[in-house]
């Protein structure tokens, strides 16, 4: 880059210019006849490109091959980006980088402002009135005009910051509460699936689902156990809930409880968290079924956990007691 090209950009510390190999990634425009373009679009008019899209908005590249006299661009190539007025329903932030191809160096002269520009209904156009001096640009020896001294290439990158984001705040909580669910007359249960009452967890309602003969034929020799979003709960597209807890079947004769740690994400595609093969029915009936009372006791103890809100919702168990009629009942124990 010549000294002339360096000096005219240093007055604004947020503006930088350089040579590089990377071509424009948003839009490029090749001028086949620069002389005719200059005739048609003189210092008071700029050539507007076709409409192109970036960040879900429509834009146009505007080039003044002889400088924008109205914007102090006399003696320079001037380049701008114009937002389509139909896209200007709100303020849009964008980072702009303008390109002029140098065939001699096989590189691109680029100029950019490191601060974002605000586009809205009152300000549809942003850019640079002084991109490259005309005496530098027009001299074929410098490589910006080529192939008969009448062709050139311009380009622009319009980078609209992503609007997809999430907020993650983490806390730690410790609690001695636990959710217990007792199923009576277990050997007499005939339904394919049994559902506990709801428990409020991180602002959502959850239930336990137990399959006495397995979730399906593949797991018919197993007892299947899941933590599941209640039927009245819905999740947004792409939303995930992270759950961390222990699920256990209590030993009715001692402290040798069957415990498994749950550490999974819940979404619309995976609303149930748990195990198809929680315990073999043969082992369960020998060890964990109270043959005298014919009861099965399932427990979800509340453990220390991390809670990234909006992303992770832990199983904080409700502080109220719930009892239901029928072959099973559940509630809170302290």
| Residue 317 pLDDT > 50 | no
Q: Report the pLDDT value the prediction gives residue 302, as an integer from 0 to 100.
A: 58
| Residue 1 pLDDT > 70 | no
310-322 mean pLDDT? 33
Q: Which residue has the higher pLDDT, 162 or 316?
A: 162
Q: Report which listed range, 36-40, 58-62, 305-309, is most confident.
A: 58-62
- Identify which of 113, 58, 63, 62 has the alpha carbon closest to the alpha carbon of residue 88: 58
Q: Report the pLDDT value the prediction gives residue 42, as an integer from 0 to 100.
A: 66
18: helix, strand or coil: strand
Band (pLDDT 50/70/90 cuts) for residue 325 is: very low
CB 316 within 8 A of CB 332: no
How far is Cα 63 from Cα 145, in angstroms, rounded to an integer?
Answer: 15
| Residue 11 pLDDT > 60 | no
| Helix intervals (H) in the chain | 3-7, 34-40, 134-138, 281-287
How far is Cα 202 from Cα 313, in angstroms, rounded to an integer?
Answer: 5
Band (pLDDT 50/70/90 cuts) for residue 10 is: very low
Least confident among 24-38, 65-79, 134-148, 248-262: 248-262
What lies within 8 Å, CB to CB, of 237 at 6+ separation is: 268
Band (pLDDT 50/70/90 cuts) for residue 161 is: confident
| Residue 303 pLDDT > 60 | no
Q: Report the pLDDT value the prediction gives residue 44, as an integer from 0 to 100.
A: 66
| Residue 115 pLDDT > 80 | yes
Q: Which H or E run contains 229?
A: strand 222-229
Q: Which residues, in sequence order, are bridge partners of residue 63?
A: 47, 79
Q: Report the pLDDT value the prediction gives residue 144, as an integer from 0 to 100.
A: 97
Structure tokens at 160: 């609209």
CB 92 within 8 A of CB 80: no
Q: Report the pLDDT value the prediction gives residue 89, as an integer from 0 to 100.
A: 84
Q: Report the pLDDT value the prediction gives residue 292, as an integer from 0 to 100.
A: 56
What lies within 8 Å, CB to CB, of 254 at 6+ separation is: none
How far is Cα 212 from Cα 266, in angstroms, rounded to an integer?
Answer: 23
Q: Which residues, in sequence order, are bridge partners of residue 227?
A: 208, 273
DSSP string, 238-307: T--EEEEEEEEE--TTSS--EEEEEEEEE-SS--EEEEEEEEEHHHHHHHT-BTTTTBEEEEEE---EE-
Q: Report the pLDDT value the prediction gives residue 205, as an integer from 0 to 100.
A: 86
**b/e sequence 95-106, b meaning 16+ C-beta within 10 Å:** ebbbbbbbbeee
How far is Cα 31 from Cα 315, in angstroms, rounded to an integer?
Answer: 63
> Chain-centre distance of CA 233, in angstroms?
22
| Residue 278 pLDDT > 80 | yes
Q: How many CB atoms lie within 10 A of CB 2?
A: 9
Q: Report which listed range, 170-174, 292-296, 313-317, is most confident.
A: 292-296
97-120 mean pLDDT? 95
Residue 286 φ/ψ, nearest 5 degrees: -75, -40
pLDDT tens digits, residue range 206-236?
899 999 999 999 999 999 999 998 988 888 7
Structure tokens at 283: 């082992």
261-271 mean pLDDT? 84
Residues in the chain: 334
| Residue 264 pLDDT > 70 | yes
Q: Report which listed range, 58-62, 88-92, 162-166, 314-318, is most confident.
A: 58-62
270-278 mean pLDDT? 90
Domains and CATH numbers, the chain: 3-159 (2.60.210.10), 172-333 (2.60.210.10)
Residue with tokens 């705040």, as numbered in its chain? 169
- What is the reported pTM? 0.53
CA–CA distances in Å: residue 331 to residues 88, 318, 334: 55, 9, 10
Q: Report the pLDDT value the prediction gives residue 39, as an integer from 0 to 100.
A: 85
């Amino acid at each position: 880059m010549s000294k002339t090209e360096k000096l005219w950009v240093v007055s604004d510390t947020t503006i930088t210019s350089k040579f590089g190999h990377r071509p424009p990634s948003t839009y490029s425009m090749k001028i086949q006849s620069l002389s005719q373009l200059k005739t048609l679009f003189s210092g008071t008019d700029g050539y507007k490109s076709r409409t192109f899209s970036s960040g879900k908005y429509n834009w146009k590249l505007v080039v003044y091959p002889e400088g924008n006299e109205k914007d102090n661009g006399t003696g320079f190539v001037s380049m701008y980006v114009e937002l389509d007025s139909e896209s200007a329903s709100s303020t849009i932030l964008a980072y702009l980088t303008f390109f002029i191809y140098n065939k001699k160096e096989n590189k691109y002269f680029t100029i950019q402002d490191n601060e974002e520009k605000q586009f809205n209904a009152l300000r549809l156009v942003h850019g640079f009135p002084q991109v490259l001096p005309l005496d530098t640009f027009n001299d074929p020896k410098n490589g910006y005009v080529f192939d008969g001294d009448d062709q050139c290439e311009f380009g622009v990158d319009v980078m609209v910051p992503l609007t997809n984001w999430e907020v993650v705040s983490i806390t730690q909580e410790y609690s001695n509460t636990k959710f217990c669910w007792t199923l009576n007359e277990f050997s007499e249960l005939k339904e394919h699936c049994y559902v506990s009452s709801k428990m409020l967890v991180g602002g959502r309602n959850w239930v336990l689902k137990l399959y006495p003969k397995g979730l399906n034929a593949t797991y018919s020799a197993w007892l299947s156990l899941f933590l599941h979003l209640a039927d009245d709960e819905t999740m947004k597209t792409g939303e995930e809930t992270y759950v961390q807890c222990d699920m256990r079947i209590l030993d009715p004769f001692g402290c040798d409880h069957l415990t498994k740690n749950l550490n999974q994400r819940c979404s619309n595609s995976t609303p149930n968290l748990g195990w198809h093969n929680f315990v073999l029915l043969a082992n369960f009936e020998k060890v964990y079924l109270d043959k005298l009372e014919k009861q099965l006791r399932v427990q979800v103890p509340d453990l220390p956990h991390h809670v990234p809100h909006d992303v992770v919702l832990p199983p904080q168990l409700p502080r109220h007691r719930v009892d239901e009629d029928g072959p099973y009942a559940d509630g809170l124990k302290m």
